Amino acid sequence: MSWFIAVLRSVRVGMLLGRGFFTVRRLSATTPSAHREAHIQEWACAVLQALGIQVRLQGAIQPGLLLVANHVSWLDVIVMHSLCPEVRFVAKADVLRWPVIGSLARGAGTLFVQRDRPRMAARIVSEVTSVLGSGGTVMVFPEGTTTDGVAVLPFRSSLLQAVFAGNGTAQPIALRYSEGTHSISPSVRYQGDDSLVQSIWWLCRARCVVAKVIALPLRVASNADRKAFAAALRADIEQALTR
């Protein structure tokens, strides 16, 4: 990708981030959900288009459930919002301190958790259960951190408690990014000391990035305990990513 095109992309993405920031500031708690979701989906699709990223969905995402996915990048959230604008995410509280992104996440109804504070984690489980009980859709990333897109880390099971408190059903979602001849995109990863600015620049320079979203069959908790259920969901996703 030429530097000229990459710079044009970065400028456009920057403008879209700014537009998103002011849009969520205008939206209020009384804004009809359909109106809010339309704004979210339009914005997410515009960001992906600006970055030249294609999204391909395999299967069907089921609304009103807990969606459980592997976690590669901050881009996961935008990809999912382009397909399922009503979904609410559970994110670490640190995201609130990110410039612009923190405000965008709050405006999209993200639920924030401080994993080092057990009482806060219990409150988030209660909130997720409440959202699911009212017919809402919530997505969690049980790995607890982003990965290189190759391996799937062990799943933390705490947030899956909301499934047991609700209808006992979750949908595993496998996320995979390819780039040109690379089956795993080297530009999408967002790990360790990578900054958001660096990550956006790598994406602006990338060519032919494809985000594949694999919506897998529903999994019912049945008589499984929470850790066994988490392991089963992880196995579903891991198997889908190796096909």
pLDDT tens figures, 75-105 = 999 999 999 999 999 988 888 777 777 878 8
For residue 153, what are the domain limits?
A: 3-241
Name the band, by pLDDT with cuts 50, 70 and 90, for residue 115.
low
- Determine the pLDDT at residue 151: 87
Q: Give the 3-state secondary structure of residue 61.
A: coil
CATH code where residue 185 lies = 3.40.1130
Task: Please give the C-alpha separations between residue 186 and each of 70, 84, 120, 153, in angstroms, as whole numbers.
Answer: 17, 26, 35, 18
Alpha carbon 91 to its chain's center: 9
Considering its fold, how many domains does the chain have in total? 1
From residue 55, how far is each of 39, 45, 124, 156, 157 by CA, in Å?
18, 9, 30, 27, 29
How far is Cα 227 from Cα 160, in angstroms, rounded to an integer?
Answer: 9
- Residue, of 214 and 94, whose pLDDT is higher: 214
pTM assigned to the model: 0.92
Residue 30: the pLDDT is 63
Q: Which residue has the higher pLDDT, 237 or 18?
A: 237
Place of tokens 């391909």: 56
